[in-house]
Amino acid sequence: MTTDQRSSREITFASGDAACVAQHVPAGSDALAGPGGRPVVVMAHGFGGTVDSGLLPFAERLAVAGLHVLAFDYRGFGASPGEPRQTVSVQRQLEDYRAAMAAASRLDDVDTSRLVLWGVSLAGGHVLQVAAGRRDVAAVVALTPLVSGAAAGRLALQHHPVSSVLRSTVEGVASTVGGRVGRARMMPIVGRPGERAALTLAGQYEAYLAIAGPTWRNEVDAAVGLELGRVAVGKVAAEVTAPVLVQVADSDRSAPLQAAMKVAEAARAQVRHYDGDHFDVYAGMPWFEAVVAHQVAFLTRTLRPAPTPAHH
């Protein structure tokens, strides 16, 4: 039995002051079935991303391997309600992940002792933060994780003119102040080189639009850079006790490689390298097949149910 997008079903769950909308892609094989049910993966996107922007191909492949997947949109993004719209708050997104974990544990046929956290880009850092200090997480997958705002800032200075970075900072401060009275400034998430946007390196516009789904909006609160600047996953990485797979793009221009490697070492993670950039890991791109195969192998090995004792 296999699964595809048509077999997923939409569910909602409460988080904070609103709700999140998620797609449940059911397990499509008995490969990892155990007495308590099958494992479940809780999955979300990076900043500004939505479930329909590149996550479902991963969810479908994991489901074929025998895992339930709950892929959700953060409050204020994609299919999820919540205000303000298109505003990244790391704290709110971490709350949404925790609420999604609780929702995943309530699904039918789910073995709550085999709960997996899966995140890409900014969410690759989120899953490590959420897993830190918890004993109810069985495995973590962090794909091209953004784990250090400071390192990301330094990387941005390598690839952008100082004037551009300063302009973004000024806009971010103005948006933060304006947001307090309901007048946050918006900017495109992705644009072509020289345009005003959060991501403007050559090829990023085309790569992002190639995965963008119908609920995705090319708009984000201009304060996003200041919000990301506070990300510091390294402070808690050593507190992650679950097995971790960290997958890095060696030419990543968005999520600094060395910062991810330091966090992976602190979390005692298995690390996989891919000779590409940040967006080269999605379906239709050069490294998707290798990336998803490594995820399936890691999760199959980590989550295989214990054999049932034989009765004599």
pLDDT of residue 275: 97
pTM over 0.85: yes
Residue 95 — φ and ψ, nearest 5°?
-60, -40
- Cis upstream peptide for 286 (omega within 30°): no
Q: How far apart are CA 52 and CA 72, in angstroms?
A: 10
Q: d(Cα 130, Cα 132) in Å, to the nearest integer?
A: 6
pLDDT attached to residue 170: 44
What pLDDT was estimated at residue 183? 65
**pLDDT reported for residue 162:** 40
- Smallest CA-to-CA distance from 301 within 114, 111, 27 is with 114
Residue where the block lists tokens 């925790």: 98
Separation between Cα atoms, residue 115 and residue 141, nearest integer Å = 11
pLDDT for the residue 149: 86
For the chain, the three-class secondary structure string (H helix, E strand, C coil) is CCCCHHHCEEEEEEECCEEEEEEEECCCCCCCCECCEEEEEEEECCCCCCCCCCCHHHHHHHHHCCCEEEEECCCCCCCCCCCCCCCCCHHHHHHHHHHHHHHHHCCCCEEEEEEEEEEECHHHHHHHHHHCCCCCCCEEEEECCCCEHHHHHHHHHHHCCHHHHHHHHHHHHHHHHHHCCCCCCEECCECCCCCCCCECCCCHHHHHHHHCCCCCCCCEECCHHHHHCCCEHHHCHHHCCCCEEEEEECCCCCCCHHHHHHHHHHCCCEEEEECCCCCCCCCCCCCHHHHHHHHHHHHHHHHCCCCCCCCC
Do the beta carbons of residue 44 and residue 123 sit within 8 Å?
A: yes
> How high is the pLDDT of residue 196?
86
Residue 193 has phi, psi (to 5 degrees) of -50, 135
User: So what's the pLDDT on residue 179?
Assistant: 46
pLDDT on residue 94: 97
Per-residue pLDDT tens over the stretch 151-179: 866 755 444 444 444 444 444 444 444 54
**Per-residue pLDDT, 82:** 96
Residue type, 71: A
**Chain centre to alpha carbon of residue 211:** 14
Angle ∠(130,135,136) on CA atoms, nearest 5 = 75
pLDDT at 63: 98
Domain 5-149+233-303 matching CATH 3.40.50.1820: the answer reads: yes
Using 70 as the pLDDT threshold, list the residues of the chain that sit under it.
Answer: 1-6, 152-153, 155-183, 308-312
Distance between CA atoms of 161 and 226, rounded to whole angstroms? Answer: 18
pLDDT of residue 156: 56
Any idea how long the chain is?
Answer: 312
pLDDT the model gives residue 67: 98
pLDDT score of 241: 97
User: Looking at residue 27, what is its pLDDT?
Assistant: 97
